[in-house]
Structure formats: C-alpha cells, structure tokens
C-alpha cells in the first residue's frame, strides 16, 4: 500500500521587499508563515541595502518582472491569504492590485512607508495609489502610529486618536483596521471592524531586538486568517506570537536585531539554568 502524502497546509503569499538581515520583508514573512502552520510563497518587490544598523537604499523590481512573478505563480498556486508589505512605487502598487483583484484570499495590507531608520520605502504617488487601489481589497490594514498619521493626515499619539484614524481608514475602503501602538507607554493595538473599537493589550517586552515587528505581526495575522480564524482571534494570536518572538530574540549584528521568528523550533535547545542578562526596556515596535 503506497504511503499517504502529508496534507498540504494553508498557503500564504507575501508580496514585499527583501531584507538581507531577514528581520523584515519576505524572508521574515516566510519564517512567520512556517511558524504559524502555513506554507509560504513570495513575490519580491524591491531589493534593499541594509543591515541591523541602517537602511542605505533600495532598488525596486521592474513592474513587469513583478507582474510576471505573480501571474506565473498564481497560475499554479492559490493562496488562502496574502500579506502585502513594501511596494516602493505606484507602478508596483498597480501591478499588485491587478494580480490580487481576482482572488478570494484574505488580504493583510501592511503599509510600509519608511524604515525605522527614516528611509522612505514608498513614494508619495505610491501612497496615493495604495489608498486608491489596494485599500479596498484589504481584509485588514495594519499601520503603526506613524503610518496611520501619514495616511490620514492627522496626529495619532493615543488610543482615542488611534481609533479615529482606524475609522477614517476603514471609511476609505478597508474592511478592518488595526493601528498598532507599540510605541505607546502602554503598548496597545486598536482594532476597528464592524462594531466599537477593540483595544488589544500586550506586555512591554524588554529587548533591543525589535527589527521587523510590523512585518511579523501582519504576516502572523495573514497566517491565522489563512487557517480560517476569525479576525479578532487572528489579531490577538498574532500579537501573542510577536511578543513571544521578541522575548526569545538574541543579538544579530551590531544594531537593532530581528525577532526570533522560529523560537518554537529551538526552545528545547535553550539552557534551562541560565538567566538572560538584564537589558534595557524598549517598546515592541
């Protein structure tokens, strides 16, 4: 009797840039998908020149190349969820939107506008195109405080303003919005969907290694949606995963290192009798 093949897990697609440190972008998304019980596939929008200390520059992939990547991939594989990250420019936004419109997949749009070092990762024309073409396709939009402020043109510095910004972005077309508040004194995210705003609290994690938290959170939400979880559950469980990955993070490079996306695989290898050295307190984003 022939051996039975294992069942294929849900497939999640990431459309994003490549980060050589693997803390953010497609490589972080693929690790996050795997850690959250999905098989990940990817289309690359840009190549970045960065390390753990800074982002120097990026080179956008030609729009025609991205279109060919997506057309050929989607002719063969149907994702249950899509995470959309760095898009670089309006032409790439248009290509992504055209490829995604026919799909019935859950779509998580992480509006990557600039690197934590301040480098711009989506030009002004691209921001307008994102709101016009991709926002209406989004199952959920996941901006941080700065991204929400840029997209709405209003200050976003507290929970009330987070809820207002989320409602404004939902009114522009997204079915739901999560504004993440890792920079707040009390790290809380605000989810706005059909009803009243839902605050989602979390612990402040004491680590300097926070590179890629936004990418990781949105990829985890996508993985959870790919498995058929309800939106609120998907968001809550994604935040719990990010917090655990932050707690398990270790130094990589000389700057702000990445989360430990695959901590569950290596937990048995961690020494049980050694306490980690005390480190400064940082927010989770």
pLDDT digits (tens, 9 = 90+) for 80-114: 999 999 999 999 999 999 999 999 999 999 999 98
Q: How far apart are the first and last CA of the chain?
A: 52
CB-CB contact of 66 with 43 (8 Å): yes
Q: What is the pTM of this model?
A: 0.91
Spatial CB neighbours of 250, under 8 Å, sequence gap ≥ 6: 209, 257, 260
**Which tokens hold the place of 87?**
């898009």
3-state SS class at 13:
strand
Q: C-alpha dihedral over 275, 276, 279, 285, to 10 degrees? A: -120
Give the span between the Cα atoms of 241 and 243, in whole angstroms. Answer: 5
Average pLDDT over residues 19-26: 96
pLDDT at 68: 98
- Which ranges of 135-281 does DSSP label H, i.e. alpha helix? 145-152, 159-171, 213-226, 231-247, 263-266
| Nearest residue to 282 (alpha-carbon basis) of 215, 220, 201, 213 | 213
Tokens 């997949």 sit on residue: 105
- List the Cα angle 234/236/242 in 5-degree steps: 100
The 10s digit of each residue's pLDDT in 203-228 is 788 888 989 999 999 999 999 999 99
pLDDT at 125 over 90: yes
285, 183 contact by CB (below 8 A): yes
- Give the CATH class of 11-262: alpha beta
Query: Among 16-30, 118-132, 217-231, 237-251, whose mean pLDDT is lowest?
Result: 118-132
Dig out the tokens for 163 from the structure: 């809820």
Confidence of residue 283 (pLDDT cuts 50, 70, 90): very low
Q: Is 10 left (phi over 0), alpha (psi -120 to 50) or beta?
A: beta
| Inter-residue long-range contacts of 236-241, CB under 8 Å, 24+ positions, other chains counted | 236/200, 239/189, 239/200, 239/202, 240/202, 241/32, 241/35, 241/36, 241/216
Which tokens is 2 given?
A: 């022939």
pLDDT of residue 29: 98
Average pLDDT on 46-61 reads: 94
Instruction: Give Cα separations from 120 to 48, 87, 127, 189 (angstroms).
Output: 11, 11, 11, 24
The C-alpha atoms of residue 48 and residue 25 are separated, in whole angstroms, by 9
109: tokens are: 């749009």
Q: Which of 21, 20, 23 is nearest to 249 (CA)?
A: 23
């Amino acid at each position: 009797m022939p051996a039975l093949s294992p069942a294929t897990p849900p497939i999640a697609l990431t459309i994003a840039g490549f980060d050589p440190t693997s803390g953010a972008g497609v490589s972080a998304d693929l690790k996050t998908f795997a850690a959250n019980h999905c098989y990940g596939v990817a289309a690359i929008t840009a190549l970045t020149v960065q390390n753990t200390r800074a982002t120097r520059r990026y080179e956008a992939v030609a729009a025609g190349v991205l279109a060919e990547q997506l057309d050929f991939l989607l002719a063969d594989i149907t994702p249950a969820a899509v995470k959309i990250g760095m898009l670089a420019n309006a032409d790439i936004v248009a290509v992504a939107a055209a490829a995604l419109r026919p799909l019935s997949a859950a779509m998580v749009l992480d509006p990557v506008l600039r690197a934590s070092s301040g480098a711009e990762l989506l030009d002004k024309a691209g921001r307008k195109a994102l709101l016009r073409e991709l926002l209406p396709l989004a199952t959920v939009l996941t901006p941080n405080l700065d991204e929400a402020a840029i997209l709405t043109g209003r200050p976003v510095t507290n929970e009330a303003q987070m809820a207002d910004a989320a409602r404004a972005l939902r009114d522009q077309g997204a079915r739901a919005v999560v504004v993440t508040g890792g920079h707040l004194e009390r790290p809380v995210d605000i989810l706005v969907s059909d009803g009243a705003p839902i605050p989602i609290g979390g612990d402040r994690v004491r680590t300097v290694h926070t590179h890629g938290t936004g990418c990781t959170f949105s990829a985890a939400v996508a993985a959870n949606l790919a498995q058929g979880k309800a939106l609120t559950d998907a968001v809550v469980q994604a935040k719990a995963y990010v917090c655990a990955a932050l707690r398990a993070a270790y130094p990589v490079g000389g700057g702000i290192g990445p989360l430990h996306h695959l901590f569950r695989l290596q937990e048995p290898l961690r020494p049980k009798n050694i306490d980690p050295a005390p480190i400064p307190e940082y927010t989770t984003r």
